[in-house]
């Protein structure tokens, strides 16, 4: 009777001395260390989000793998490789999520969304842009450009077909930075504008309106109280009828308008733009003119600062 009771008591000690058990314990420990260390060393702020939280999750993954190994071992015994296999599968699942996010082009600096190009091929242009006309307004393609013509009260404008932004909440393989970081938006276009009325709308977005006026540019944008406010910019573009490079950019701090590489207006940003619409949108008879667009693009990416 005493001998039978002594056997269970001596079993843990015997297992610790068992070479197979030691070998399995060494393998699973090595797997955990390698997985956690490599994850920690390959941390990326865009792919993985905040460093401290990510390192905690990597450590928890290691502890979880050890716990799984122990629980399975209790069920299968020391002579089975199943505990180590289960622990390894748990580690691989976590590693796969990390490395897939790390390999995503967005993590490497690629834009989240891009709509761009010239206006040479009408078919491809209409796939990326909506062209709208009304009240006598016209749009036509000519010599590699799109010409928008708006008589008094007529509308003629184009809008970029912006798809749905990728959602990390429903797509686990996307970088965490999509949920944690601000986006940068950059709208650029090369155009020649001939204003025939007192005003001509160059660009209209969700929160900003850029118009050409006799003295230059008039920008309407919300102030710190979120009330619309007009800003006057003296510039020859109001009447020179020349080709100019326009660039409207928004980041986490500011929104700015550049003309031929020089900032002509800026303000604290008041929210995402999420739109690109070029050309006359107003039916007021004081509005009118034409715009020849040769290039246009909308690019949004993550703020990497």
- pLDDT for the residue 10: 52
- pLDDT for the residue 13: 53
CATH number of the CATH domain containing 206: 2.60.120.200
| Measured distance CA(186)–CA(300) in Å, rounded | 6
Q: Determine the angle formed by the axes of helices 82-103 and 19-41, rounding to 10 degrees.
A: 10
288 near 196, Cβ under 8 Å? yes
Does residue 91 share a domain with residue 203? no
User: Which of helix, strand or coil describes residue 98?
Assistant: helix
Does residue 89 share a domain with residue 218? no
Question: Which residue, of 35, 68, 103, is where some domain finishes?
Answer: 103
In sequence order, what are the residues at sequence separation of 6 or more whose Cβ sits closer than 8 angstroms to the Cβ of residue 146? 119, 125, 131, 139, 140, 158, 292, 293
- pLDDT for the residue 9: 45
- pLDDT for the residue 4: 47
In sequence order, what are the residues at sequence separation of 6 or more whose Cβ sits closer than 8 angstroms to the Cβ of residue 34? none
- Give percent helix, percent strand, percent coil of the chain, each to the nearest 5: 35, 35, 30
Report yes or no on 108 lying in a domain: no
Report yes or no on 207 lying in a domain: yes
Report yes or no on 8 lying in a domain: yes
What is the domain extent for residue 90?
Answer: 2-103
Does residue 14 share a domain with residue 156? no
- pLDDT for the residue 269: 95
Number of domains in the chain: 2
- pLDDT for the residue 80: 84
| Measured distance CA(20)–CA(24) in Å, rounded | 6
| Measured distance CA(182)–CA(257) in Å, rounded | 19
| Measured distance CA(221)–CA(255) in Å, rounded | 10
Which percentage of the chain shows pLDDT scores above 90?
83
Low-confidence ranges of the chain (pLDDT < 70): 1-17, 78
Burial class for 272, CB neighbours closer than 10 Å (0-12, 13-18, 19+): middle
Does residue 205 share a domain with residue 59? no
What single DSSP character describes residue 224? T
In sequence order, what are the residues at sequence separation of 6 or more whose Cβ sits closer than 8 angstroms to the Cβ of residue 85? none
Which tens digit of pLDDT belongs to each residue from 30-87?
A: 999 999 999 999 999 999 999 999 999 999 999 999 999 999 988 887 678 899 999 9
Does residue 81 share a domain with residue 128? no
User: Which of helix, strand or coil describes residue 193?
Assistant: strand
- pLDDT for the residue 11: 53
Q: Determine the angle formed by the axes of helices 51-76 and 19-41, rounding to 10 degrees.
A: 160
CB-facing half-sphere around the CA of 30: CA atoms within 13 A: 6
């Amino acid at each position: 009777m005493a001998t039978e009771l002594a056997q269970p008591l001596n079993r843990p000690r015997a297992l610790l001395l068992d070479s197979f058990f030691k070998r399995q314990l060494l393998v699973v420990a090595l797997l955990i260390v390698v997985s956690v260390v490599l994850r920690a060393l390959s941390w990326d702020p865009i792919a993985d989000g905040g460093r401290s939280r990510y390192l905690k999750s990597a450590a928890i993954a290691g502890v979880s793998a050890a716990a799984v190994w122990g629980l399975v071992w209790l069920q299968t015994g020391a002579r089975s490789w199943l505990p180590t296999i289960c622990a390894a599968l748990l580690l691989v699942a976590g590693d796969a999520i990390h490395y897939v996010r790390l390999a995503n082009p967005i993590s490497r600096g690629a834009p989240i969304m891009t709509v761009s190009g010239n206006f040479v091929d009408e078919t491809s242009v209409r796939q990326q842009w909506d062209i709208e006309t009304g009240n006598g307004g016209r749009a036509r393609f000519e010599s590699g450009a799109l010409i928008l013509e708006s008589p008094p009260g007529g509308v003629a404008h184009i809008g970029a077909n912006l798809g749905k932004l990728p959602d990390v909440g429903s797509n686990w393989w996307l970088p965490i930075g999509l949920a944690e970081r601000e986006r940068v938006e950059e709208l650029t276009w090369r155009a020649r504008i001939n204003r025939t009325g007192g005003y001509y709308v160059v660009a209209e977005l969700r929160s900003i309106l850029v118009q050409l006026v006799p003295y230059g540019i008039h920008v309407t944008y919300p102030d710190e109280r979120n009330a619309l406010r007009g800003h006057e910019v003296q510039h020859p573009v109001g009447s020179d009828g020349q080709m100019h490079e326009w660039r409207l950019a928004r980041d986490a701090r500011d929104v700015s308008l550049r003309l031929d590489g020089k900032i002509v207006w800026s303000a604290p940003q008041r929210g995402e733009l999420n739109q690109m619409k070029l050309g006359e949108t107003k039916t007021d008879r004081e509005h009118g003119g034409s715009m020849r667009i040769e290039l246009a693009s909308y690019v949004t990416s993550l703020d990497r600062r």
